[in-house]
């Protein structure tokens, strides 16, 4: 899901559902279709969630244990 913060001075207006125009104030965080439209128009800045970035990282491989196996 896309998340963005509105950065345009006079806010941003769009119709994410198609018919009803919605106005967003400066600094407001929007998600979904409204965020995608605002990013395309250059009226917003994309926000990244650090938790999803951490999940994307693969864990390091563990080394095999050395020595004689236990009984």
Task: Give, for all 71 residues of the chain, the pLDDT tens digit.
Answer: 789 999 999 999 999 888 899 999 999 999 999 999 999 999 999 998 766 655 666 666 777 777 887 77
Write the burial class of residue 19 (CB in 10 Å: 0-12 exposed, 13-18 middle, 19+ buried): exposed
Asked whether 12 and 24 are in contact (CB, 8 A), the reply is: yes
Domain boundaries, the chain: 3-50
**What pLDDT is stored for residue 59 in this prediction?**
63
> What's residue 40's pLDDT?
93
Q: Which pTM value belongs to this model?
A: 0.66
């Amino acid at each position: 899901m896309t998340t963005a913060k509105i950065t345009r001075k006079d806010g941003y207006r769009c119709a994410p559902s198609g018919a009803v125009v919605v106005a967003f104030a400066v600094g407001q965080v929007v998600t979904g279709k409204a965020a995608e439209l605002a990013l395309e128009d250059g009226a917003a800045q994309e926000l990244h969630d650090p938790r999803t970035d951490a999940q994307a990282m693969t864990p390091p491989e563990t080394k095999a244990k050395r020595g004689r196996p236990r009984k």
